[in-house]
């Protein structure tokens, strides 16, 4: 399955298009980060890592996941 990656230097947003059920929850929660009409449609610089993590954990399909870019901030 293809995974798209979007990094802001602190956190990388990972998105698997095939899993996305287009609920739009990500867009409603962080409209500056997720702009479905644009390419690329994810702009991780528009939010900090904490806001992105919180939102990604609410993605109902599991299409969105994340990876911390800085080892010091890695809680996983
Ligand atoms: S919240 Fe998850 S399932 Fe819903 S549109 Fe965003 S990526 Fe897709």
Residue extents of the structural domains in the chain: 4-68
> From 3.40.140.10, 2.40.30.10, 3.30.70.20, 3.40.50.2300, which CATH number describes the 4-68 domain?
3.30.70.20
Question: Closest ligand 1 atom, CA of 15?
Answer: 7
Q: Which residue has the tokens 């890695």?
A: 74
Q: What percent of the chain has pLDDT over 90?
A: 89
According to DSSP, residue 31 is labeled T
Q: What is the pTM of this model?
A: 0.90
The answer to whether the peptide bond before residue 40 is cis (omega within 30 degrees of 0) is yes
User: How remote is the CA of residue 2 from the centroid of ligand 1, in Å?
Assistant: 16
The finding on whether 21 has its CB within 6 A of some atom of ligand 1 is yes
Mean pLDDT over 6-23 rounds to 97
Q: What span, in angstroms and rounded, lies between the C-alpha atoms of 1 and 70?
A: 25
Distance CA 71, CA 66 (A): 13
pLDDT band for 70, please (50, 70, 90 cuts).
Answer: confident
| CA gap 10, 39 in Å, rounded | 21
């Amino acid at each position: 399955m293809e995974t798209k990656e979007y990094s802001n230097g602190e956190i990388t947003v990972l998105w698997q298009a095939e899993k996305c059920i287009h609920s739009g929850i990500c867009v409603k929660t962080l409209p500056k980060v997720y702009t479905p009409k644009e390419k690329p449609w994810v702009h991780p610089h528009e939010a900090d890592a904490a806001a992105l993590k919180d939102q990604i954990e609410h993605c109902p399909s599991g299409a969105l996941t994340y990876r911390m870019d800085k080892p010091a901030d890695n809680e996983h």
